Amino acid sequence: MTADGAAASDGAETGDGAGTAAVTGATGFLGTHLCERLLENGWTVDGLCRPTSDRGGIDNGDDSNEQNGLEDVNWHVGDLFDRRTLESLVDGADAVFHLAGVGLWSATPDTVERVNRDGTAAVLRACRASDVGRLVFTSTAGTRRTNGTGTFADERDVAEPIGAYQRSKAAAEGLVDRYARTEGDAVTVHPTSIFGPGDGSFTAQLIAMGTEPTMPAYLPGGLSIVGVSDVVDGLLAAYRSGTSGEHYILGGENLTYDRAVSRISDNTGGSPARLPVPSAAIHAAGPVVEAVGTVTDRQVFPFDRQMARLATRRLFYTSQKAHEELGYEYEPLEAHLPETMSWYRHRRK
């Protein structure tokens, strides 16, 4: 489907000029899918992983799929802050896909800032010191938001960041923009909420709301849901056709949670969550969490008053610019369900 809702083509990747790609975050949800596609398309792939990273790829339980795709990655073991490892990772790469990052559910605000902002600075330092082609940086659509009057946010709707995650990504975007202006070639993409096999957080929760009778409630508000294979298409298109210094939102269908949950349920024969969590309850949680954080000098939950308000809004996006300049298209939620459901069911066994 295109940004205006027209039907998408089959999404087949066309001639992305296979070369050498360096990928940070190669062991993560999006990174695994990107590496698999790059390898399928004939690229040489160098991936960054930590000693503790799971390099097993996505286990969807499909026995006919003999390997899960990451065996052919040339692994560089180290952290974003290991200068030598990063330089050896990116040197000679035609494309550097910088995906590594952390969110507030898995790390403290300080770590989020350090990994997302300072980690991006480290990648840029390595790019400057090495021979690299284009950097494609993965930020988030969360750094864009309408001011309340428009329905769909676009790349120009730069928002005041809310929370450490958005703040760190906005700061990283600034560093990448400066690199593109002064010394290198770099493009920034902004995925919305990514749905697909291998994602134990957002995807698993949304499917649970659509299929598990024990899930009593869904969230108010709405969001843009994009299939992981469409985001991979967008990353490759940004490398191939993006303009250095530019930003591209990679979104999908704009859906209320209610609608998304019903569509999953209709397609899978599940029992959807029937009652919305009242907005008031979510708004009320913000100040409580803030107060506990102030008293204990520690953030107990990864949200505050502003983030609680944000959670109940309709955060809708247009990918029109990516469509026009990159040829980006996305498919509806149903197109991503069979593979994702197969992974989800296997994971629950």
Ligand X SMILES: NC(=O)c1ccc[n+]([C@@H]2O[C@H](COP(=O)([O-])OP(=O)(O)OC[C@H]3O[C@@H](n4cnc5c(N)ncnc54)[C@H](OP(=O)(O)O)[C@@H]3O)[C@@H](O)[C@H]2O)c1
Number of residues in the chain? 349
Q: Which residue lies nearer to ligand X by CB, 274 or 313?
A: 313
End-to-end CA distance of the chain: 33
Q: Which residue lies nearer to ligand X by CB, 205 or 306?
A: 205
H or E element: which one contains 269?
A: none
Q: CA-to-CA distance for 287 and 304, rounded, in angstroms?
A: 7
Residue 165 known to be catalytic: yes
Nearest-approach distance from CB 345 to ligand X, in angstroms: 20
Local structure of 52: helix, strand or coil = coil
Q: Which residue lies nearer to ligand X by CB, 249 or 273?
A: 249
Nearest-approach distance from CB 80 to ligand X, in angstroms: 4
Report yes or no: 251 and 151 within 8 Å, Cβ to Cβ.
no
Q: Which residue lies nearer to ligand X by CB, 30 or 341?
A: 30
- Phi, psi values for residue 272, rounded to 5°: -75, 155
**How many CB atoms lie under 10 A from the CB of residue 71?**
10
Nearest-approach distance from CB 287 to ligand X, in angstroms: 27
51 Cβ contact list (under 8 Å, min separation 6): 77
346 Cβ contact list (under 8 Å, min separation 6): 59, 60, 61
Q: CA-to-CA distance for 105 and 303, rounded, in angstroms?
A: 9
Query: Looking at beta carbons, which residue is closest to ligand X?
Result: 28
Nearest-approach distance from CB 140 to ligand X, in angstroms: 4
Q: Which residue lies nearer to ligand X by CB, 132 or 235?
A: 235
Nearest-approach distance from CB 47 to ligand X, in angstroms: 9
Tracing tokens 């001011």 back to the chain, one arrives at 147
Q: CA-to-CA distance for 69 and 56, rounded, in angstroms?
A: 9
Q: CA-to-CA distance for 25 and 18, rounded, in angstroms?
A: 20
Tracing tokens 């073991």 back to the chain, one arrives at 77
Q: CA-to-CA distance for 180 and 174, rounded, in angstroms?
A: 10
Q: Which residue lies nearer to ligand X by CB, 27 or 299?
A: 27
Nearest-approach distance from CB 127 to ligand X, in angstroms: 16
Note the residues at the interface with ligand X (CB under 6 A).
25, 27-31, 48, 50, 52-53, 79-80, 99-102, 115, 119, 138, 140, 191, 193-194, 202
DSSP 78: S
Active site residues: 165
